[in-house]
Amino acid sequence: MKTVHQACYEILREQGLTTFFGNPGSNELPFLQDFPTDFRYILGLHEGAVVGMADGYAQATGKPALVNLHSAAGTGNAMGALANAWNSHTPLVVTAGQQVRTMVGVEALLANVDAPSLPRPLVKWSCEPACAQEVPLALSRAIHTSATPAKGPVYLSVPYDDWKQEAGPGVEHLAGRRVELAGLPSDETLASLVSTLEQAKNPAMIVGPDVDAADANSFAVTLAEKLSMPVWMAPSAPRCSFPTTHACFRGLLPAGIASISRLLEGHDVVLVVGAPVFRYHQYEPGEYLPKGTRLIAITCDINEATRAPMGDALIADIAQTLRALAGRVSQSARPLPAAMRRPEPAREESGPLTPERVFDILDDMAPRDAIYVNESTSTTGTLWQRLRMTEQGSYYFAAAGGLGFALPAAVGIQLAKPERRVIGVIGDGSANYGIQALWTAAQYNIPAIFIIMKNGTYGALRWFAGVLQVENVPGLDVPGLDFCALARGYGVDALRADSSESLTRALRQALASNKPMLIEVETRT
């Protein structure tokens, strides 16, 4: 008879979850015993970094990744990163070791009391099986729940004495199961939507991260071209779903109610695809939509559909629906929108580099299929204006706004996409939240490039202090950090740049290397 341990590893193997990201404790050791040679374990030095790496890896592959955390403490350390994964619809199967069953009730050391409740509401499903024989079924359910739209993290707590128990009858049916969602709208629904779009006098489209996640950018481009629509990226977009060089592209929407409404003025139909409606940030009261504007959202997430404060929503497969619309709408007689002018090259000035100058150099030198992972939050608008992002899967950002995403995510994305160069653009305040991922990059020789935008302050907070009109706030500056020394301490080569010439040399060296490298860039606030 198979053990629970054997049955679960067969499920993981058949479902393709052979890469683990983890930071194990004593409760997890029985699960990792006799680790198979066809699996790999990517060790991280902090659970937040572990989930960040898995988040990047799962987003880049589009498939679930397995995370191995230590009981309640490890789960707690990972909660900020789970918030990002939840908001980006990242399919993660998070496992956590539990005390032996006879010790949970007395709340022995390392018992995860009420384990299923701990990660909520940042997971789609959470479970601690009632007995050992239920563990394989719970693992199978976790994998399929994570991978079906809207994708997202799930959580499974397993007492560590369960792994050696005999599996129950019928466990052999679990490993090869397939669960798929057929999400194409009916012909009648599609016909109605096509008619609405074709009859619109001035339609516009807003695309969100789920378009890029569905590999559907090209369908969005075709639809925009056929209807001659201007296209915006959704506010605070964690991915780039439309080529930033395209004539239809209008940039990143702001995150305020009134600002969005002003930009949509004059558009009678607004089609939102693969994005919440909308993810606002700063409170900016106003009308949700201009008078006379109809909004229609296509989403894979029932929660996003139902919580929207305005418009109609269609819950459907993003790629199939976009492809169907692009194929069915007629070519509009309207001319394409005039392309936005690219900003003038930033001037060379003495002293620390401006963010504009950094991005101009980066755009000039990086491969056209480079993948950017952004957590320089105060320069996000500038990045979108100056970096040409044209390929599928070219951009990632923390979906919940939680710091600590970009540095570990860059490691995970580079691991998933070894054929492309991954470049993290990370603020000096943000970098400290996931700095431990540098060790993983060094140990596994994952050649991501980390550009630290060092200005000595939390720039986004300083901007928000202005928005809120607050003064004399403590804790906004972070002086005295030496990222080159930190990187070398973790085993990563590092260079310092304080001019265009030195940044150009550093980037040339990093791009020619097959090892991870950190570049600390002195920038202006």
- Over residues 515-524, the mean pLDDT reads 95
> What percent of the chain is modeled with pLDDT above 70?
96
State pLDDT tens for residues 3-61.
999 999 999 999 999 999 999 999 999 999 999 999 999 999 999 999 999 999 999 99
- C-alpha count within 13 angstroms, C-beta hemisphere, residue 384: 25
Same fold, 187-328 and 355-522: yes
Question: Average pLDDT of the chain?
Answer: 94
pLDDT at 460: 59
Model confidence band, residue 347 (pLDDT cutoffs 50, 70, 90): confident
User: Any catalytic annotation for residue 267?
Assistant: no
Model confidence band, residue 479 (pLDDT cutoffs 50, 70, 90): confident
Instruction: Return d(Cα 421, Cα 368) in angstroms, integer.
Output: 10
Question: Could you say which of 47, 128, 304, 356 is catalytic?
Answer: 47
State pLDDT tens for residues 91-114.
999 999 999 999 998 899 889 999
Question: Could you say which of 5, 10, 22, 28 is catalytic?
Answer: 28
pLDDT at 262: 96
Residue in 330, 342, 341 with CA at minimum distance from that of residue 228: 330
State pLDDT tens for residues 280-323.
998 899 999 999 999 999 999 999 999 999 999 999 999 999 99
For the chain, which residues make up each domain, given as ranges?
4-173, 187-328, 355-522
User: Any catalytic annotation for residue 25?
Assistant: yes
State pLDDT tens for residues 504-513.
999 999 999 9
pLDDT at 468: 65
State the alpha helices, DSSP H only, in 428-471: 428-431, 437-443, 459-468
- C-alpha count within 13 angstroms, C-beta hemisphere, residue 282: 17
Residue 150 in this model has a pLDDT that exceeds 70 = yes
SS3 of residue 58 by DSSP: helix
pLDDT at 455: 81
Q: Are 521 and 358 in contact (CB under 8 A)?
A: yes
SS3 of residue 79 by DSSP: helix
- Over residues 446-471, the mean pLDDT reads 75
User: Any catalytic annotation for residue 375?
Assistant: no
| Angle subtended by helix axes 47-61 and 406-416, to nearest 10 | 40
Q: For the CA atoms of the chain, what is the radius of gyration?
A: 24
Question: Could you say which of 134, 281, 284, 491 is catalytic?
Answer: 281
pLDDT at 471: 73
pLDDT at 476: 62
| Entry pTM | 0.95
Question: Could you say which of 5, 46, 70, 267 is catalytic?
Answer: 70
**CA 216 and chain centroid, separation:** 16
Looking at domain 4-173, its CATH architecture is 3-Layer(aba) Sandwich (3.40)
Q: Are 22 and 69 in contact (CB under 8 A)?
A: yes
User: Any catalytic annotation for residue 70?
Assistant: yes
pLDDT at 367: 97
Question: Could you say which of 16, 26, 105, 265 is catalytic?
Answer: 26
Q: Are 126 and 95 in contact (CB under 8 A)?
A: no
State pLDDT tens for residues 174-224.
999 999 888 899 999 999 999 999 999 999 999 999 999 999 999 999 999
Instruction: Return d(Cα 291, Cα 297) in angstroms, integer.
Output: 18
pLDDT at 183: 86
State pLDDT tens for residues 156-185.
999 999 999 999 999 999 999 999 888 899
- CATH for 187-328? 3.40.50.1220
pLDDT at 312: 96
Instruction: Return d(Cα 163, Cα 98) in angstroms, integer.
Output: 11
Instruction: Return d(Cα 87, Cα 305) in angstroms, integer.
Output: 14
Two structure tokens written together for 83: 């918030």
User: Any catalytic annotation for residue 5?
Assistant: no
User: Any catalytic annotation for residue 52?
Assistant: no
- How many other C-beta atoms can be found within 10 angstroms of the C-beta atom of residue 200? 18
Longest dimension (CA), the chain: 73
**CA 515 and chain centroid, separation:** 24
User: Any catalytic annotation for residue 47?
Assistant: yes
Task: Give the CATH fold of the 355-522 domain.
Answer: Rossmann fold (3.40.50)
pLDDT at 463: 55
Question: Could you say which of 22, 74, 401, 402 is catalytic?
Answer: 401
